Structure formats: structure tokens, C-alpha cells
Amino acid sequence: MTVAAAEFLIQTLAIYLGCGAAFAVLFLWRWVGLLDQAAAHGTLGFRVLVFPGVTALWPLFLVRVVRR
């Protein structure tokens, strides 16, 4: 792998995770109740625990929110 390819891969991953983190904040703040009523009343600890998963899988959650 060349240095340019590695830099591109790291930049792409950083953009993906940045978008995921921004989406996760909005999702856990406003939209989690659309998908699961029990999660709508989740504590801060619950939201902190699921934040990494929502960040990594944000395209799947985005599709589910849009379909709702």
C-alpha cells in the first residue's frame, strides 16, 4: 500500500466517523424515540453506551429514521 493510499483511507475513515458522531448526537437526542419507545426514556448512561454503535452503524439508522 502506498503512502497516498493509506492517507486516503485514514481521511475517508475520519470523515465517516465524523459524520457518524454528528448523526449519533442528533439521533440519540431527538430521533431514538421514533425507533424504540423504551429507548426514548433512556438515561445518559444508556446513551453513552450506545453512542459508539450508532456512530459506526449510522447509515443503517439513517435509513430507518427516513423510512419512519
pLDDT digits (tens, 9 = 90+) for 9-26: 999 999 999 999 999 999
The three three-digit cell numbers of residue 23, written as one number: 448523526
Closest CA to 54 of 20, 13, 18: 20
Determine contact, residues 24/62, Cβ cutoff 8 Å: no
Burial class (CB in 10 A: 0-12, 13-18, 19+), 2: exposed
Q: Report the amino acid identity of residue 66.
A: V
Residue 68: which pLDDT band, with cuts at 50, 70 and 90?
Answer: confident
Q: What is the pTM of this model?
A: 0.88
Residue 32: which pLDDT band, with cuts at 50, 70 and 90?
Answer: very high
**Quick one: how far is CA 36 from the chain centroid?**
16
Residue 31: which pLDDT band, with cuts at 50, 70 and 90?
Answer: very high
Determine contact, residues 54/24, Cβ cutoff 8 Å: yes
